[in-house]
Amino acid sequence: MPHSPEEKKRALTRLRRIKGQAEALERAVEAGTECGVLLQQIAALRGAANGLMAEVLESHMRETFGQRQENASGGFADHDADIEEIMRLLRTYLK
């Protein structure tokens, strides 16, 4: 769940866009639209859902792992760089 008001607003905006895409796809199926066009709409819907999943996953990872933790040498490790790298990698697979 997105935690900040900004993250929540972004997630709701994405959800509304996904809802609009799903409704447009439903209308296209009812109208007997050609398969090629339907496939494009389905791919766009899947991309939007994957984008939302990446955003919520990043929020979750930052909440869970992003806090500074004391390491063995007595210093603090900031996990932001690690989270950025993991999210960059995951986003390539979610496309």
pLDDT exceeds cutoff 60 at 68: no
Distance of alpha carbon 75 from the chain centroid: 33
Return the percentage of the chain with pLDDT > 90, whole number. 42
In the chain, what are the domain boundaries? 5-93
* Alpha-carbon distances of 12 from 9, 45, 53, 65, rounded to whole Å: 5, 15, 12, 24
Nearest to 18 by CA among 54, 1, 42, 36: 42
Q: What is the pTM of this model?
A: 0.72
Please state which CATH number belongs to domain 5-93.
1.20.58.1000
pLDDT exceeds cutoff 80 at 75: no
pLDDT exceeds cutoff 70 at 78: no
66: helix, strand or coil: coil
Task: Please report which confidence band the pLDDT of residue 4 belongs to, taking 50, 70 and 90 as the band edges.
Answer: confident
Supply the mean pLDDT for the chain: 84
